[in-house]
Structures are given as structure tokens and as C-alpha cells.
Amino acid sequence: MTESNATAARRIRAVRATPLDRERRRARAVRLLVRAAEGQPRMPVRPSGPLIALGQIDTCLLPAATPWSRDDLEGLLELMPGRPMLWRERPMSLAVSPTVAEGVDCLLAAPAHPSVRGIGTVATRAVVVGGRVLQSSAWSSVVRAGNDQRRNWSHYLSNPGVIEVISKVNAETGVRLAEGFLAAGAAPAGTLDLASIVNRLLGRVRMNPHLDQNVPLQTGTTQLRWAVRIDAVERPRVAFRLQNDTVRTVLLTVRDEDELAQAQWFCEDLAVHDWLLTVIAAALVQSDLFDPGSDESVAVLAPVLHHLAHLWVPGAHTPRPLRVLWAQLQEDPDFTADRQGLIDQVRNRVLVAALDAAQRRAETKDYSPD
């Protein structure tokens, strides 16, 4: 059959086609279009806001014999050349390094939930409070990606502190991500590991050659893991838990994205004050290893009063909309009352030791030969 004859035959079949034949052809065409669409990347969807925000903060004593001034901290916190640190003088000095982004492509721990893969960046920074307390802080907001395809790193690096989920999410995803991240213990293999990121930054700052490593008192490092989600609440809420001697977890519930973005400032403020409580309590325990009023006991307690007692200013560096969270913590577990009780014990022990020493000197003088 020639080409012209074939064309003529198709025309004849089209004329003779019944309505049922035409309906079948349309249905077949629709099926082919659906199959082709399923093989293409998902069209961009309108973001529904962050699923959750996750972060971790490690807090320790700056390894230096004396508090560091603003000029000293400028060099210490210059994580990116040419970008100055943020400085606040009152009511307690606060130095904040520039934010540095670190790329991640990993699973996110989510118990009782299909696997969640996230790609993006973790934002990190170092903080020094009162020239004495050093913090390494990392955080990221977890959002639903616009499509299910991995994009170029330039896209993710342009959004520091944002991890995009390219797998399916549902109404429970944010809750499960918070549960998985805040669970006690190390992050499961292959999942987001903020602890390693925080530790690297902390080690980088602590090993600065200008730090003399001559600390006035022996202290440990505390770790605070936090998660923030948005919900229909009248005011922000906080749930604080001591997991063990060094690990703490915080779950915040806020009202909108603005408060979610400010949550990290509150968590860093909280981490400093929890660390202060931990260090003071540990000093009292250590002093019990020596005789009451002994020189060894005073050597443990006196530096607490000299170097740390004045750093207690809860809420000073918390954004105003979230200061209500401190009101909750003052009620339960009542941070300030706990701190006051510890400081009173330290002062009383040092005072009694000083009175005993003065009495011994007086007795020695009274009984000394003429």
C-alpha cells in the first residue's frame, strides 16, 4: 500500500469510528499522559512552613586564666575572614561569631515513620558569654522540599540553616522528627548528627593558640538538644528535661515562624544557665572530698564565686516574645531558687572556712612565746 493509500485508509477508519471507539481512544490517551506525568519530577508545591527546627548547644568554660575582652574575642570568633562578630555589652557581655553553614545529606531519625531524607545545611556559630563561658551552637529548620529531586548544592548553600525533606511527609512527620532527635543516646548511623558538627566547632575554638588553657576551676561540658514546633497555643511553652549528668533536652512549642526563628537565642541562654547550675553543684560535691573549711575545699569553691556567680542573668539575651518561657522555668523547676540555694552554700562554706582560719591565727598568736 502506497503512502497516499494508507492515508486514505486512516481517514476511512476515522469516519467509520463509532462514539464508543472514540471514547476508548480518548481514555487510552489519558492513560498514556498520566504515565508520562508520573515519570516526571513532581511539580513545585507551595511550602507549608517548617516541619520542625532542631539544634544542639555544647557549653563549657573558656580555657583561659582571665575573662576575655571584646578585642580578644574579635580574633577568637573570626570564623569567616572579613565578617565581624556580633557584640552586646549589657547587662552581660555577649559575643557571637558569624554563622557558618555546613552541608548535610542524610536521613532524619523519625521513630514509627517511613524514612525521611533531608538535604540542606546546618548553621553553626560560637558564642562567648561574660568573656568566660564558651558555646558551640548548631541548628536547622526542616522544611518540605518543592520537589522530590535533589538539587545543586548552590541552591542549598543559599539557604543556610535549612534542611529540605525530599521524601514523603504527613501530619505526624514533625512530631516524629522531634522524638527521634531528642531521644537519649547517640544519633543512629546515617542520620543527622549535630553532635559531631558542634564538637568540631568547639574543638576549633578551644584549640586557638591564643588561649592559654590555664582554667581557674575544673568544669565539664554540658550538651543541650532542642526541638521547636509550631502549634495553636496561646503562648510559647517549654518542656525541659535532664537526661543524665551532662545531656539535657528541650521541646518548645511556639505560635508562628517568627518565634521559631528566635528560639535558638532562648536555647543558648538556657544552656548557659543550666551549665552554671551544673558547675556550681559539681563544685560542692568536689569540696565534700576534703575536710570542711580546709584549704583544699576553699580552693575548689572560691573560684566559683570569683568567676561565675555574677553571670546569672536569665532572659537577658532572650528575644522579648520568648521571655515568657523563663517565667515557666522560674515556676518549675525554679532555676533561680535552685541557683540561689547553691550559691548560698558556696558562700557559707567559704565564709566559715575564713572564720576558722582567722580563729586559728588568733589562737596561734595568743599562745606564741614572748
pLDDT tens-place string over residues 79-101: 888 889 999 998 899 999 999 99
Alpha-carbon gap, residue 202 to 60, rounded angstroms: 9
Which domain, by its residues, includes 312?
280-365
Does some domain include residue 15? Answer: yes
Q: What is the pLDDT of residue 293?
A: 82
Tell me what pLDDT residue 333 has.
80
Do 218 and 140 share a domain, yes or no? Answer: yes
| Same-domain pairing of 141 and 211 | yes
Q: Which of 224, 257, 290 is the last residue of a domain?
A: 257
Question: Distance (Å, rounded) from C-alpha 232 to C-alpha 164?
Answer: 24
Q: How does residue 265 score in pLDDT terms, banded at 50, 70 and 90? A: very high
Q: What is the pLDDT of residue 367?
A: 59
Summarize the confidence of residues 187-196 as an average pLDDT.
88
How far is 213 from 198, CA to CA, in rounded Å? 20
56 and 106 part of one domain:
yes
C-alpha–C-alpha distance, residues 20 and 15, integer Å? 13
Percent of the chain surpassing pLDDT 70? 86
Across the chain, mean pLDDT equals 87
**Tens-place pLDDT, residues 339-358:** 999 999 999 999 988 887 77
| 267 domain residue, yes or no | no
> Which residue type occupies 107?
L
Q: Does 275 map to a domain?
A: no
Taking residues 162-166, report their average pLDDT: 95
Q: Are residues 72 and 202 located together in one domain of the fold? A: yes
Between 43 and 60, residue with greater pLDDT: 60
Residues 194 and 329 in one domain: no
Band of pLDDT at residue 117, cut at 50, 70 and 90 = very high
Using the predicted structure, report yes or no on whether residue 33 has a pLDDT greater than 90.
Answer: no
Task: Report whether pLDDT(249) > 80.
Answer: yes
Band of pLDDT at residue 227, cut at 50, 70 and 90: very high
Residue 242 sits at φ, ψ, to 5 deg, of: -90, 110
pTM of the model as a whole: 0.83
- Within a 10 A sphere around the Cβ of 79, how many other Cβ atoms? 17
Q: Confidence band (pLDDT; 50, 70, 90) for 42?
A: very low
Averaged pLDDT for residues 159-165:
94
Reply yes or no on whether the pLDDT at 43 is more than 60.
no
- Split into its structural domains, the chain has a count of 3
